[in-house]
Amino acid sequence: MATKVTIWNEFRHEKTKDAVKKLYPEGMHKVIGDALAKTGDFEITLAALDDPEHGLTEEVLANTDTLVWWGHCAHGEVKEEIVDRVQQRVLEGMGLVVLHSGHFSKIFRRMLGTNCSLKWREVAERERLWNLAPSHPITEGIGEYIELPNTEMYGERFDIPEPDKLIFVSWFEGGEVFRSGCVFERGNGRIFYFRPGHETYPIFYNEQVLKVIANSCKWCAQTVKISTVNAPHCPEPLEKIEEKDIVFGSAGISQTADKL
C-alpha cells in the first residue's frame, strides 16, 4: 500500500530569489514530490504556507502518514493552531520528516522542546555525511557516505535533545561536524531530522538525498493512530480488588492510619 506523504514547503524563496527560482521554479516540494511519486511507493500531497490553513487542514493531516517540512524565512508566520494540530497528529502516530532549515520551525522546536540552534556558514563548501547506521531502514541503498560538493555548513553544537538514534554525522570542508540525521520518538510518532537542503544549491536533485527522504518517509509512516488528548485516565480495574483502607493504605506497616 502506498505511503501517504504530504510535503509542506514555506515556498517563499522560490518566488523571491532568482537563484532559487531557477533551481526550483515550481518549488522544492514539487521536486521532492515528483521524485517520490516516481518510485510508485507514495501518494503525494503538496502543501504551502500561503494555502488556506497552510495546506494542513484536518482532512489533509488525517490522510497523511508522514509529513515532510521545509521552512526558513517565515517560521514566524506559521499559525500556532496549525502547529498544535500537527503536534497532536505526530503524538497520535503520524511521521514527521524535517529538512534542513526546518530545524528552526515552530513544529520541530515544539516536538523537541529545545532551541534547536546551530552554527552556519554559506561558502559552498564540501560536505560528507557519514552513514553511522548502515542496517537502519533510513540508510537502505546508501553507502558509507553521501558527498555533496557544495553546501551551506551547519555546525555543532546543535541544541537538540539526545537523539534516539543518530543516523548521519556530517564533516565539512571548513572543519565543523554536525549531527545530520537524527531520529526521535514523540508519543506514538516518529520524527527524522535530515540536514541537507539549502535552497540555493540543487540538493533536492541529488539521488542519494532523495533516497534518504523516501526511506525516511516510509520508516516514519504512521502505523497506529491513537489520540492521547482525551485518553481515559481513571479506569475501572480489570480484576476485582480486595477492599483496602481507603484513607492511606498500610504500605506493609502493621499500624493502621488511625493509630499513627
Residue whose CB is less far from Zn ion, 92 or 152: 152
Residue whose CB is less far from Zn ion, 151 or 222: 151
Is 198 a binding residue for Zn ion by CB under 5 A? The answer is yes
Binding window for Zn ion (CB under 5 A); candidates: 39-47, 179-187, 193-201, 219-227: 193-201
Residue whose CB is less far from Zn ion, 17 or 128: 17
Binding window for Zn ion (CB under 5 A); candidates: 44-52, 99-107, 133-141, 156-164: 99-107
Is 92 a binding residue for Zn ion by CB under 5 A? The answer is no
* Neighbouring C-beta atoms of residue 243, cutoff 10 Å: 6
DSSP state of 55: G
**Contact of 120 with 161, CB cutoff 8 Å:** no
Cell of 231: 485518553
Binding window for Zn ion (CB under 5 A); candidates: 4-12, 31-39, 157-165, 198-206: 198-206
In whole angstroms, the minimum distance from the beta carbon of 198 to Zn ion comes to 4
Tell me the number of residues near Zn ion by CB under 5 A.
Answer: 3
Longest dimension (CA), the chain: 83
In whole angstroms, the minimum distance from the beta carbon of 148 to Zn ion comes to 13
- As a whole number of angstroms, the distance between CA 204 and CA 29 comes to 9
Residue whose CB is less far from Zn ion, 42 or 108: 108
Residue whose CB is less far from Zn ion, 14 or 152: 152
Is 101 a binding residue for Zn ion by CB under 5 A? The answer is yes
- As a whole number of angstroms, the distance between CA 66 and CA 49 comes to 18
Residues in the chain: 260
Is 4 a binding residue for Zn ion by CB under 5 A? The answer is no
Tell me the per-residue interface mask from 141 to 160 with Zn ion, x by CB under 5 A, - otherwise.
Answer: -----------x--------
In whole angstroms, the minimum distance from the beta carbon of 114 to Zn ion comes to 19
Residue whose CB is less far from Zn ion, 122 or 164: 122
Is 170 a binding residue for Zn ion by CB under 5 A? The answer is no
Say if residue 157 is preceded by a cis peptide, omega within 30 of 0. yes
Tell me which residue has cell 494555502. 51
SS3 label, residue 155: strand
Task: Kindly list the residues in this chain that would bind Zn ion in the complex (CB under 5 A).
Answer: 101, 152, 198
